[in-house]
């Protein structure tokens, strides 16, 4: 569809302005326009197309949600209205039947023809006065296709300078995401807007990302290896979390879904202040067997690891083992010291955000400012991998949209 630009945008008083055309913002817009098609609604997004992060989710397949999510049935019904047929895998992850993420973006935008769009744009400031939100929006017009009301689409010159618009709206939805994956348009500017409107923000840190280790995996000959293991996160002698899955050894350390999930259990204050010296990742490559069983197998196989581990990993373990007993012990517990977490460009979600005590969790409306809503990753919530974070985005977008519909 064409994402039309209203040349009279500065003259309009919008019923709703949604900042962020990602999962929660698009869901809120669909809920509102389904019930109130005449609502004057403006969508603002930093990228030149909506739904960039959705299109990249689930390795391009879009892991919509998980059957273990309590609110999935309600969200599922709405996706049925949008025309998205879904299926789930053996681990409960829900995908569009096509396993093609752009299909989800298309479904979410197809029914928004009556909305106005301001793409390649960011709110630089916002204030509230006499029941109206007044915002300054900076638009990078380079290479953007626009369609004005009653006009043909045209390509804006790449030499055109950025323009600043002043927009007005009775209700403002901050759905502009967190700080994770800035290459997809999220840079944390929503947190600054929330602070301008007198809301407290828990400083964001990356989550669901790779873990940097003190050990150099490239020098150990392990970079590029993938191996199933029981992954355990420990702090000193305390076990914090465990999960079985495929571990990926990288130049910087460890990756893989099970590793990503461990990052949520490192104390927030320690991540914020870069205190990782007490934390370790321990890998058990044969979690189905106890150490005695592994030792017996190794005696029978004369220490051969060819049927257990990838060659590079077997070579490394042999270099740090002296006999069958120590070899069995290492297979059951290889330890790596945590040096830090990967940066924002490798993070899937943001940990931190607008603190939960400042908005109504049933409506997502601010408790401080009537007509202000927070949805999706801008709020202080993070879930495990497997569709739980997108489910949170859909659910908060729906709650916000439903509350706005009830008040229009």
Residues contacting residue 59 through CB under 8 Å, at least 6 positions apart: none
Count of domains in the chain?
2
> Quick count: other Cβ atoms within 10 Å of Cβ 220?
18
Mean of the per-residue pLDDT values of the chain: 92
pLDDT for the residue 68: 94
Task: Say yes or no to pLDDT of 202 above 50.
Answer: yes
Question: CA 139, CA 167: separation in Å to the nearest integer?
Answer: 12
Based on its alpha-carbon atoms, the radius of gyration of the chain, rounded to whole angstroms, reads 24
pLDDT for the residue 222: 96
The angle formed by the CA atoms of residues 381, 384 and 385, to the nearest 5 degrees, is 125
> In the listed set 292, 320, 341, which residue is the last one of a domain according to the structure?
341
Question: CA 290, CA 134: separation in Å to the nearest integer?
Answer: 64
Residues contacting residue 11 through CB under 8 Å, at least 6 positions apart: none
Placement of tokens 């050990």 in the chain? 215
User: From the centroid of its chain, how far is CA 206?
Assistant: 10
Q: Hey, is 353 helix, strand or coil?
A: strand
Residues contacting residue 38 through CB under 8 Å, at least 6 positions apart: 114
Residues 266 and 295 both lie in one domain: yes
Q: What is the span of the domain harbouring residue 66? A: 9-206+348-407
Residues 312 and 352 both lie in one domain: no
Residues 401 and 258 both lie in one domain: no
> In the listed set 341, 363, 380, which residue is the last one of a domain according to the structure?
341
Nearest to 407 by CA among 115, 32, 38, 23: 32
Q: Judge whether 390 lies within some domain.
A: yes
Kindly report, residue by residue over 338-347, the tens digit of the pLDDT: 999 999 999 9
> In the listed set 341, 358, 375, which residue is the last one of a domain according to the structure?
341
What is the rounded average pLDDT of the residues 191-220?
97
Q: Identify the H or E element spanning 280.
A: strand 279-284
Residues 328 and 360 both lie in one domain: no
Question: CA 232, CA 241: separation in Å to the nearest integer?
Answer: 6
Kindly report, residue by residue over 269-327, the tens digit of the pLDDT: 999 999 999 999 999 999 999 999 998 888 888 878 878 899 999 999 988 887 777 89
Q: Judge whether 60 lies within some domain.
A: yes
Residues 145 and 265 both lie in one domain: no
The reported pTM is 0.91
pLDDT-derived band at 141 (thresholds 50, 70, 90) equals: low
Residues 51 and 168 both lie in one domain: yes
Residues 69 and 163 both lie in one domain: yes
Kindly report, residue by residue over 16-69, the tens digit of the pLDDT: 999 999 999 999 999 999 999 999 999 999 999 999 989 888 889 999 999 999
Residues 110 and 168 both lie in one domain: yes
Kindly report, residue by residue over 208-262, the tens digit of the pLDDT: 999 999 999 999 999 999 999 999 999 999 999 999 999 999 999 999 999 999 9
Q: Which two tokens stand for residue 36?
A: 């109130």
Beta bridge partners of 122: 138
Question: CA 217, CA 368: separation in Å to the nearest integer?
Answer: 49
């Amino acid at each position: 569809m064409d994402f039309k630009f209203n040349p009279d945008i500065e003259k309009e008083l919008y019923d709703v302005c949604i900042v962020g055309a990602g999962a929660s913002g698009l869901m809120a817009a669909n809920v509102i326009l389904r019930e109130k098609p005449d609502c004057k609604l403006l969508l603002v997004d930093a990228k030149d197309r909506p739904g960039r992060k959705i299109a990249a989710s689930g390795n391009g397949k879009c892991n919509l949600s998980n059957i273990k999510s309590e609110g999935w049935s309600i969200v599922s019904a709405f996706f049925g209205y949008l025309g998205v047929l879904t299926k789930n895998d053996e681990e409960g992850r829900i995908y569009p039947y096509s396993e093609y993420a752009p299909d989800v973006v298309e479904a979410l935008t197809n029914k928004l023809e009556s909305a106005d769009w301001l793409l390649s744009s960011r709110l630089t400031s916002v204030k509230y006065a006499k029941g109206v939100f007044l915002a300054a929006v900076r638009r990078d017009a380079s290479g953007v296709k626009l369609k004005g009301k009653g006009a043909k689409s045209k390509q804006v010159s790449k030499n055109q300078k950025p323009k600043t618009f002043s927009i007005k709206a009775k209700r403002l939805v901050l759905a502009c995401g967190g700080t994770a994956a800035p290459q997809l348009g999220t840079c944390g500017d929503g947190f600054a807007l929330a602070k301008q409107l007198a809301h407290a923000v828990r400083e964001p840190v990356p989550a669901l990302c790779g873990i940097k280790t003190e050990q150099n995996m490239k020098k150990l000959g392990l970079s590029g290896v993938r191996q199933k293991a029981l992954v355990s996160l420990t702090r000193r002698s305390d076990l914090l979390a465990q999960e079985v899955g495929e571990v990926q050894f990288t130049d910087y350390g460890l990756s893989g879904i099970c590793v990503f999930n461990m990052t949520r259990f490192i104390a927030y204050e320690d991540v914020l202040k870069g205190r990782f010296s007490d934390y370790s990742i321990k890998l058990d490559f044969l979690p189905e067997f106890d150490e005695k069983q592994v030792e017996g197998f190794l005696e029978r196989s004369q220490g051969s690891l060819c049927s257990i581990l990838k060659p590079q990993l077997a070579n490394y373990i042999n270099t740090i083992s002296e006999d069958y007993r120590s070899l069995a012990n290492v297979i059951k517990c290889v330890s790596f010291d945590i040096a830090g977490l990967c940066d924002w460009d490798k993070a899937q979600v943001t940990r931190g955000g607008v603190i939960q005590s400042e908005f109504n969790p049933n409506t997502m409306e601010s408790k401080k400012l009537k007509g202000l809503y927070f949805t999706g990753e801008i709020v202080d919530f993070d879930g495990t991998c497997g569709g739980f974070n997108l489910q949170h985005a859909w659910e908060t977008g729906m709650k916000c949209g439903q509350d706005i519909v009830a008040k229009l």
